[in-house]
Amino acid sequence: MSSLMSNYGRFNVSFTHGEKAYLYDSNGGKYLDFASGISVTNLGHNFEPVTKAVCEQAKKVIHTSNLYEIEQQSILADKISKASFGGKLFFCNSGAEANEAAIKLARLYGNTIHHGKRYKIISMYNSFHGRTYATMGATAQEKIQKGFTPMPAFNQYIPFNDINALKQAVSLNDTCAIMLELFQGEGGVMPVDVEFLKEIRKICDEQDILMILDEVQTGYGRTGYLFAYELFGIEPDIMSLSKSIANGVPMGAVVAKDKAASLFTAGTHGSTFGGNPLACAAANAVIDEMMSNGFLDSVKEKGKKLKEYLNNNLPKECTIKGEGLLIGVKTPYIPKDVADCCLKNYLLIVPAGNNSVRLYPPLNICDDDLMKGAEIFVSVIKEMGV
């Protein structure tokens, strides 16, 4: 009997190594990876620049703590700030930690700038922001909160893309932040409505409310833009990042405009491992590749090709959603069953909510492997009997 706790519903396969868009199991099986570790290994497996950066840094120093200056961390912060909206950075170790820091920053803003009169954080039904206590409170899904209630009293939930509910929620003048994903990954890759997002930005500007965008899953090129907010012509006040930021080395980050970032002073927040030299070395290699000439354009082109193939070949009962290589497919089947069938055909995908599955191939996948995975997926859906 395993000594591990039983909190994961794992697939019955174990991988020994990977190369580019493929993973290999302990029996020699070769799997095409359209999961990317849930949008983490966006540059595929054993990507040479990241592997080299990690190995070289590991020979020097892995950890010193944030009691001291970390050169790789400062370099990375400058790169992300310049590539986004000019905010300041805090580094941690995961998406949940990044969202936890964003929530703390919003509460600090409400307590400091608005003298404690603003404390509520509005988030969306079917969202997912993490499994720490505060981020679970912001995650408006009963199945995530079950067994852990009551949740923190400062959360308020509204339906995604409902402008009337949004206006009603902020009418009491006690809101410090509005938190959302631009594509609800766990919710089935549901996209935000442009008018809803613009209304949030307008309300936040008028009422001095912070807009928090959770880009843990959508950030780092997945939509064909370095950050998904670029698709919509708005900027957040706070943005959380993680998953693909270091291509599998655990890392998270919060980017915040100065009006909020300036409130994090010595002792208000911290992380022992956050932004350590090893993770930052990997992350610097990642952002350099993603900012290289033509990289993001190639993601857009691959996304168009994949969506076109799926639209032309999947049964009419299926719905394709998403942008770039952030693709969700709603089917008539239980998502876990679809993923199991794909696994038997040596294709890895990710189950989601709303009867949907996620197709997240590496962003640098070659066209032949991209279409091979698409063909396997279509054949699996057709074999399931639609």
The pLDDT tens digits for 303-314 are: 999 999 999 999
CA separation for the pair 15, 3 (Å, rounded): 20
The answer on pLDDT for 386 being more than 60 is no
The pLDDT tens digits for 317-359 are: 999 999 999 999 999 999 999 999 999 999 999 999 999 999 9
The number of residues in the chain equals 386
- Helical pair 367-383 and 295-313, crossing angle rounded to 10 deg: 30
Using a pLDDT cut of 70, give the percent of the chain over it. 100
The answer on pLDDT for 103 being more than 60 is yes
Phi-psi region of 37 (alpha: psi -120 to 50; beta: other; left: phi over 0): left
The answer on pLDDT for 274 being more than 90 is yes
Q: Which of 252, 295, 242, 289 is nearest to 52 (CA)?
A: 289
Could you write out the DSSP letters of every residue in 24-52?
EETTS-EEEESSHHHHT-TT-BT-HHHHH
Q: Is 18 helix (H, G, I), strand (E, B) or coil?
A: strand
Q: What is the mean pLDDT of the chain?
A: 96
Q: Within 13 Å, how many C-alpha atoms sit on residue 48's CB side?
A: 0
CA separation for the pair 185, 237 (Å, rounded): 21
Q: pTM score, two decimals?
A: 0.96
Residue type, 17: H
Domains with residue ranges and CATH for the chain: 15-48+293-383 (3.90.1150.10), 50-290 (3.40.640.10)
The pLDDT tens digits for 1-16 are: 789 999 999 999 999 9
Tokens standing for 174? 């006690």
CA distances from 215 to 28, 127, 134, 229, 378 (A): 35, 12, 17, 8, 29
With beta carbons less than 8 A apart as the criterion, state whether 282 and 127 touch: no
Q: Is 14 helix (H, G, I), strand (E, B) or coil?
A: coil
The pLDDT tens digits for 153-181 are: 799 999 999 999 999 999 889 999 999 99
Helices (H), 142-209: 142-145, 163-169, 194-207
DSSP state of 140: B
Tokens standing for 129? 């922001």
DSSP state of 154: T
* Over residues 205-210, mean pLDDT: 98
The answer on pLDDT for 233 being more than 90 is yes
